[in-house]
Amino acid sequence: MIEPHYPKGKTGRPPFPVATMLQIHFLQQWFGLSDPAMEEALYDVPLYREFAGLDGGMTRLPDETTILRFRHLLEAHGIAAQILAVVNELLNEKGLMLKAGSAVDATLIAAPSSTKNGSGTRDPEMQSTQKGRNWYFGMKAHIGVDAESGIVHTVIGTAANEHDINAALALLHGEETDVYADAGYQGIEKRKQTGSARWHVAMRPGKRRKLNLKDPLDAIYDKIERLKAGIRAKVEHPFRILKRQFGYLKTRYRGLAKNTAQITTLFALGNLWMMRKALRKA
């Protein structure tokens, strides 16, 4: 996917192999390193060089400009979404991904709110939103996951003030028979072009608290909500990997496109991390 867009190096120093630059890019995402920090890490950490294939007699290492240009190349050609698609194709071939159902959700990603930067302004593509009693500034990562395995198949990045329901239909791959979502997606059935999939949206918390569990009908409603919540929980696992395993808590770049590309790459790598044991057995 990258080779057709990669410099051929007919003049000057020969470029580093595509595989090497891609592995460095993955290291940068896993450990949350800036371009200068990634360059320094390659000098300081032998294991990083070994992983990237730079220990085989190479006399030079990629500098921060080379790392930056490679990242920009991936962003310019939409490679992150293609990486996610290839990872999922691999997992599907191994029988690790079913397409009968999806779960959808979104999470807030904070962005720097300080204006102490070169432009003297905050990122104009980020917005503020209220959740509970707190205000947040940043973006939202909307994802659609396989309801059985929890594998992320679709990622969309929007400003934080975008309502979850507006991105809901775009999160489906089209082969679902059932879709699971939390109470924030109430009313999705009224949207046009919802397709043939059945939506199982959680009851609003206030309404559920009013259920009388001693009443047989209310007890059945409560049991249904528990069953839906058990399936819907699959969508929380990728968010935990993103924020805990990979430590991604705040946007690194300016603009939705760049940050969405990074998040998409992290979810693709997160899919491999979730399925690592099954892949080893396979």
Confidence of residue 7 (pLDDT cuts 50, 70, 90): confident
pLDDT of residue 166: 92
Lowest mean pLDDT among 49-63, 117-131, 229-243: 49-63
Judged by phi (left if over 0) then psi (alpha if -120 to 50, else beta), residue 32 lies in: left
Mean residue pLDDT across the chain: 91
pLDDT value, residue 192: 61
| Crossing angle (nearest 10°) for helices 64-76 and 35-44 | 130
Q: Which helix (H) or strand (E) holds 222?
A: helix 216-232
pLDDT of the residue at 113: 85
Confidence of residue 282 (pLDDT cuts 50, 70, 90): confident
Question: What's this model's pTM, rounded to 2 decimal places?
Answer: 0.91
Question: Of the ranges 115-129, 217-231, 237-251, which one carries the lowest mean pLDDT score?
Answer: 115-129
pLDDT in tens, 255-273: 999 999 999 999 999 999 9
- Amino acid 159: pLDDT: 96
pLDDT, tens digit (0-9, with 9 covering 90-100), for 160-219: 999 999 999 999 998 889 999 999 999 888 776 656 788 999 999 888 999 999 999 999
The number of C-alpha atoms within 13 Å of 211 and in the hemisphere containing its C-beta is 17
3-state DSSP percent of the chain in helix, strand and coil, to 5: 50, 15, 35
Cα–Cα distance measured from residue 38 to residue 70, given in angstroms and rounded to the nearest whole number? 13
Cα–Cα nearest to 197, from 232, 172, 224: 172
- Which of 12-21, 52-61, 115-124 is the least confident region? 52-61
The DSSP output letter for 250 is B
Residue 56, pLDDT score: 67
- Between the alpha carbon of residue 52 and those of residues 17, 20, 86, the distances in Å are 10, 5, 20
Question: Residues 96-119: what's their mean pLDDT?
Answer: 88
pLDDT, tens digit (0-9, with 9 covering 90-100), for 41-88:
999 999 999 999 987 666 789 999 999 999 999 999 999 999 999 999
% of the chain residues with pLDDT over 70: 97
